[in-house]
Amino acid sequence: MEKLLREFGPLSGSTLEMCTEGLLSGLDYLHTCNPPIIHRDIKCANLLVDLDMTVKLADFGCAKRAWRCESFTPTGSIPWMAPEVIKSESGGRAADIWSMGCSIIEMATAEPPWGLKAFDNLFAAMYIISMTEKLPRISGSIPEQARDLIRSCLQRAPERRPRAYELLEHEFLAGTRELYCDSPSSLSGRLAITW
């Protein structure tokens, strides 16, 4: 996805909707495993896209299979990390939801979630993300329903973030439900995961 955005620019309309649904479907699958799988590195560089714009989660190098992830490694994708992960407070499913919100911003703007050159260095990024009330800027060019979905993901309090299955019911994804409900494969048949 990162290369696609670099070459063709931001996603919009039904393409953004379809790619968001694919990401959420994959995340819902991971989060409903027993025990859940927490990806811990969701960003466009870790999303595969086929010719039909079906999105698949990839790169499970940071993933953990547990009800709650308490471990923290300060390497990787700081601008996509949830505040509680940077503060080493927790890193469960809600942290993936934050990263997913950041990834939707990235898909819709073709820029990192906090914008280009938002931070002087990684320590400044860690401070701003974890110790202030600032949030990634949600561009006005993103459709209002998508902005609403992103805002629900970017709640500073992890317990206020919805689960992936709840986000799949969001109004922004109504078009994808209409597309696939008549299909024999339905949404559950569009498994958006790759190992």
Q: Does domain 2-189 have CATH number 1.10.510.10?
A: yes
In the chain, what are the domain boundaries? 2-189
pLDDT tens across 165-182, in order?
Answer: 999 999 999 876 555 444
Q: DSSP secondary structure string, 55-116?
A: EEE---TT-EESS------S-S-GGGS-HHHHTTS--SHHHHHHHHHHHHHHHHHSS-TT-T
Identified catalytic residue from 41, 50, 96, 148:
41
Express each pLDDT in 52-64 by its tens digit. 999 999 998 888 8
Alpha carbon distances (Å) from 117 to 56, 122, 126:
28, 11, 14
pLDDT for the residue 75 = 39
Pairwise CA distance, residues 117 & 25, whole Å: 31
pLDDT of 165: 96
Q: Which amino acid is at 10?
A: P
* pLDDT tens for each residue of the chain, 195 residues long: 999 999 999 999 999 999 999 999 999 999 999 999 999 999 999 999 999 999 999 998 888 887 655 554 543 489 999 999 999 887 789 999 999 999 999 999 999 999 998 898 989 999 999 999 999 999 999 999 999 999 999 999 999 999 999 999 999 998 765 554 444 334 444 444 444
Nearest-CA neighbor of 21 among 62, 49, 40, 41?
A: 49
For residue 64, the model assigns a pLDDT of 87
Instruction: Assess whether 41 carries a catalytic annotation.
Output: yes
